[in-house]
Amino acid sequence: QVQLVESGGGLVQAGGSLRLSCAASGGTFSSYVMGWFRQAPGKEREIVAAIVRTGGLTHYADSVKGRFTISRDNAKATMYLQMNNLKPEDTAVYYCAASIRLSMVIAPEEYQYWGQGTQVTVSS
């Protein structure tokens, strides 16, 4: 069973950048589809980006396309989310998640393992 730990969140001004990391342990990282999700107060958890096991296919929510980049380093068992040109509406708790599915999945219920989350706050 894989354990996931996010880091890199914080407070940033609008237009700024942050890089989130998700370190995995206890499992074979390269065997999981990985995803970043976020949840703002009073809202449902939503997909931000996802990446297949090889890193050869990615998915982005429309709201972050062109601003966020998801990547993974299977040798380091780590996933990243580079967030540029941040907006106040990006404020949320960001979670990394792992799925045992063999192909791209974006629904939260398709992910079996979750990190504890990291807060991202973007001030205007």
DSSP string over 28-74: -GGGSEEEEEEE-TTS--EEEEEE-TTS--EEE-TTTTTTEEEEEET
Mean per-residue pLDDT of the chain:
97
Q: Quick one: how far is CA 106 from the chain centroid?
A: 11
Give residue-wise pLDDT tens across range 47-101.
999 999 999 999 999 999 999 999 999 999 999 999 999 999 999 999 999 999 9
